[in-house]
Amino acid sequence: MKRTTYFSDDSDDDKSHAHKSDIKILLLGDKKVGKSAFIEKLTKKYFTLYYKPTKNIEIHRKIRVADMNICFWDVPSHIKYHFKLDTLHADVVLLMFDTMRPFTKEAVMKQWEAIHPQLEKLPYVFLVGIRTPRTIDIGTIYIDNMTGEGLGLLMYKIQEVCQT
């Protein structure tokens, strides 16, 4: 339905106020950092202690979060997908690591360093630590998959950058 406002010359068909509601998010990280648990907590609103390793790229299509339709690509670390990443055209990349295992942060940073030069257009990138550590690094968003703490902030930040 087209709507015209009477307080200005703008109307709904004006593209300058449009925002992107379909967002493709690529999750990268070492094994067992919580990528699948993150998607489960966000979509099903619960956390399970049962761990089932992701064997292939899992695509979770059109998940509604706030005003966004999100398509998650859960990419396990053992898949060598670097040459195919350009075809994904992700809007956002979450570099996920487990704060209890510092080497997972180094591993995901190395993954990203190898991947990003191959991209035509760089997506928005967030460094996401699973579990809040005792010392907080500036520029890192921390979430707790079990309680959901920090999840709202991350989704707000994603929505904020994708609407600009």
* Domain residue limits, the chain: 20-162
Whether the CB-CB separation of 112 and 95 falls below 8 Å is answered with yes
Residues for the chain: how many in total? 164
Q: Of the candidates 104, 63, 112, which has an alpha carbon nearest to the alpha carbon of residue 85?
A: 112
Mean pLDDT, residues 33-56: 83
For the stretch 99-112, pLDDT in tens is 999 999 999 999 88
Domain 20-162 has CATH 3.40.50.300: yes
The identity of residue 44, as a single letter, is K
Mean pLDDT, residues 90-96: 93
